[in-house]
Structure 1
């Protein structure tokens, strides 16, 4: 019996993954008609700036999130920079979530522009998950003027893969009979939970696609990937038992340092960020995660504490990019109103795999 012939229980979980298309850049193009159809980068056009998001017109030139602004300008001389307006993006995100709530209360936000929805209960009335996903996309378009891509499937792993399959403004459905074969055809780099370090390790072992991963035994995977073996063994077969968690705790990886003497010089403060970021990168590597949001923590000499953060449209964990973002956040506070006694950097905005065991469920 092939994997595509497996008969699943009739009880079905219906999961939708919604991912807004070039969210930050699309909001800027919506609000500034002169930017429509042009290559746009959200970020600061300066030597130490970082691209937070890029429009699809800019992506044609290789401009991408987390790229240094100077590199983006070199890639696309006609690139237009728009300063980030995170308060606007948060307001639009709230509108989008209102659209979600018309279909379900089981919403697991991953970031301002991305979320999982469990619409199993809504489908009990006879409407399909595909119809709900289409209605959500139409509602978002009608109320915000923005497009969203959606993936519909019987688990979170496949729904997320599906939403990325036909961007922008796409809708892809992966049914249980198609799930295993769909996974088999993809490069492992597309798999949520397989970061750059793991991808490189898999390639050395001859694992390039989902089909290659499926061929490896659980014993082999445990030998090379330790506690992650069961997860990789499952997703290579299109299996993901994680539930949609509306109250999911946003987890982060970070480090900080308290200084013997207060810092008042910008260059010295930037230099002190390097070892902190090195610890963060090491911890991200140990967990094999990358995050979209960089948060800078500053505690002043009088113990007043502030945080500043920047969210990118793609996950990162390389030290140079984290440093560029953290430096930009620190520069925004200079000249320092008081001496700095502590600096901290953390990464968040990534998914943490759920180790709970649940039965695999069927869609449709």
Structure 2
């Protein structure tokens, strides 16, 4: 008598999708995108919700091949059921190799960890606004997203114009002269869906975001009190076209142009040059005080040498502060440990 042959057949490996339908809306395009994330074919799809409050969502998901799990009304009921059932998915589907957990709730981290411990490859799909982001559950880091598009890096000329426009808008809106690099970076990322660092890496490999401004001194002036403080950026209004409908700015800009000296040969010349720069720096509020370091930075940018070197070359006694105190054009006051200057 012959014994029956034992079958060596094993079902093909599959991927499973678990969806918290109360937390995350997954349309057909997003679902199709998720089929490209898994290595194995997506054969089982299970959705959890209280379907009585989901309109026709249950009908739609049923037509798309989902197994629908109903839960009572109540906060986190769908989460609890999804975690409970999901934790045993490797037992119910022995041929499952991958699981995609679709929920933005942090509580799903425990489910993902449990599934990984049972030898499954796990991804977590979360949604931020209209973007579906797939995380590597083991590292928590994004691996892809939908829509998955890479914004085009602008040319350096276009980028500089973009930055100029953002600085001008920020100056006008907040009535300021210097703009923090951190603020400018955030505005640029919001408007162009790119970081300044991405653009700099493209055009200046190995450089930092701040280097784009120091590499173009004709367009930008930078200021930093010390190496650990914020970097501030502004435009040279002397070299820029005046803002539209700004007669006052046009007049002051013209005055500043005429006040710039081709060379500085005396203390009087230096005082005149510093006065013109201070007029520009306080164009929005002529009587306002600014830190003397900002005035020194402005001088360095316009005349190509530190103010201290200029003072030494003229054989003037004392430092920058002493020189300003000796000038009739300026008022000075102490603010904490620093000194501030204004036009007299």
Q: TM-score, length-normalised on structure 1? A: 0.20
Q: TM-score, length-normalised on structure 2? A: 0.21
Structure number with greater Rg is 2
